[in-house]
């Protein structure tokens, strides 16, 4: 027995293509609508058995607000989300809003049909591999790239940052001492301390590291002071 359904998607062409394919397979399509943001009122008024809800941004805040409204006003309507491979946040947001299923948007039409039938029967319609992938990401979250420039900047005192800036500008110990109004021996100590903290063996390496990580740009933004009162 065919499913009485509606298809909504932000891309009307996709909604109409899926609706046509499902009609050919014996299902009763009440409407194909776009965009999803305005589809809730139509779904509520037509009351299909199943609503296929297409989205390209499942992790965006508010992406599933229309589903929440549909379930609030027409709790008997089963909503199946069609979207990209979801992040744990995306798939959790879909089910939290009241979705009965989540299907990848590159799924074969047979997979979409199976999800529709399961959702209409009150079952959760989500592929085991999607759940496995979501749980795997939750258990082993991807490490966010470290801002190395910021990390290095936190290791240095303001006085040492100024020394590094001067090293990067090609100043030797004598010029650093004169510019900062400190003794050459003190300037030399500051330079050695900077090299040690950065884990490099020469001034040239220190300058290259600072340039590569954007440390010098950050120092400029932070307004690192120069002069005898610095640090």
Q: Which residue has the higher pLDDT, 149 or 94?
A: 94
Residue 230 has pLDDT above 60, yes or no: no
Question: Residue 142: is its pLDDT beyond 60?
Answer: no
Ramachandran sector of residue 223 (left: φ over 0; alpha: ψ -120 to 50; beta: rest): left
Which H or E run includes 1?
none
Q: What are phi and psi of 74, to 5 degrees?
A: -135, 70
Of 7, 119, 99, nearest to 58 by C-alpha is: 99
pLDDT at 229: 39
Beta pairing, strands 50-54 & 4-9: parallel
pLDDT digits (tens, 9 = 90+) for 44-79: 999 999 999 998 888 777 889 999 999 999 999 999
What pLDDT score does 182 carry?
A: 94
Please give the model's pTM, rounded to 2 decimal places: 0.58
Q: What pLDDT digit, counting tens, does each position of 201-222 carry?
A: 888 888 888 887 877 777 665 5
């Amino acid at each position: 027995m065919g499913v009485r359904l509606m298809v909504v998607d932000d891309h009307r062409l996709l909604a109409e293509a899926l609706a046509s394919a499902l009609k050919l397979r014996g299902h009763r399509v009440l409407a194909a609508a776009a965009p999803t943001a305005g589809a809730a009122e139509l779904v509520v008024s037509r009351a299909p058995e199943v609503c296929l809800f297409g989205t390209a941004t499942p992790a965006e805040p508010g992406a599933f607000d229309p589903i929440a409204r549909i379930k609030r006003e027409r709790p008997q309507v089963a909503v199946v989300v069609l979207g990209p491979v979801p992040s744990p946040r995306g798939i959790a947001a879909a089910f939290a809003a009241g979705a009965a299923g989540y299907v990848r948007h590159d799924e074969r039409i047979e997979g979409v049909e199976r999800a529709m039938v399961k959702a209409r029967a009150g079952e959760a319609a989500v592929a085991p591999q999607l759940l496995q992938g979501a749980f795997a990401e939750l258990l082993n979250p991807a490490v966010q790239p470290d801002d190395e420039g910021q990390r290095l900047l936190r290791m240095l005192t303001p006085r040492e940052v100024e020394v590094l800036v001067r090293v990067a500008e090609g100043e030797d110990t004598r010029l650093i001492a004169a510019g900062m109004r400190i003794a050459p021996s003190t300037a030399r100590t500051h330079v050695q301390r900077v090299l040690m903290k950065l884990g490099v063996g020469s001034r040239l390496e220190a300058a290259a590291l600072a340039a590569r990580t954007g440390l010098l740009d950050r120092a400029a933004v932070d307004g690192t002071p120069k002069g005898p009162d610095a640090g």
